[in-house]
Amino acid sequence: MTIKSRLEKRIEETTKWEIRRQYGADGPNEGHLWVLACMDERLPVDEALGIRADTPVGGGDAHLFRNAGGIVTDDAIRSAMLTINFFGTTEIIVLQHTGCGMLSANGNDLEAALRAKGIDVDNVPMDPSNPELTLESGSFAKWIGMMDDVDETCLKTVDYIKGHPLIPDDITISGWIWETEFRRLRAPITGTTEGRERTQYAASVMGVKGSQPPRWS
């Protein structure tokens, strides 16, 4: 192949990459992948999963959605629905991590702290542009989504996504835990502390008193 041909091919591929959203499902990201991950700055999504999506931004391997805890929220479902049904995504990965800030306090205490600041948490607009989206009175602490155990929450997050009517049954969905302390990836572990006893995997390990509001029960 001549240099001219290689340059023409490179420009053609680059152009298609730049306008891939115009192709819809025929212009998916390279991994046909959507990642739901915690927003924590210590969670290196690319390193953990062996992909290029987060650093540098624009790596192209996946659609990446980050929120506090890497948990199911209405906006997470909205984003998953779009990438799967309209942009060619065929796989979802849920990526959570030890030492997460969502393990570091009790949700009821966080609600109380906001009330002490004079915030009426029973009347907070969830989305000012979509006023129909509301919380029932008394559900704010549950909405925050604090965790008791990151492994259990990871598995339940996977189950909630699998069971959602906007997510097709043929989508591959898995959950993984990044051990912040050791910079390594593992599958979720439940029913025992073996294999995770030297990590901050639970709120109780991080010194939090009392059970969290029952979002994950």
Residues 20-34 pLDDT 10s: 999 999 999 999 999
Which domains are assigned to the chain?
13-105+149-201 (3.40.1050.10)
Residues 81-120 pLDDT 10s: 999 999 999 999 999 999 999 999 999 999 999 999 999 9
Residue 4, both tokens? 């001219």
pLDDT of residue 55: 82
Residues 17/60, Cβ–Cβ less than 8 Å: yes
What is the reported pTM?
0.93
Q: Is the peptide bond before 56 cis (omega within 30 degrees of 0)?
A: yes
Residue 74, both tokens? 């209405």
Query: Sorting pLDDT into bands at 50, 70 and 90, what band is 59?
Result: confident
Q: Which of 175, 106, 113, 190 is nearest to 142 (CA)?
A: 106
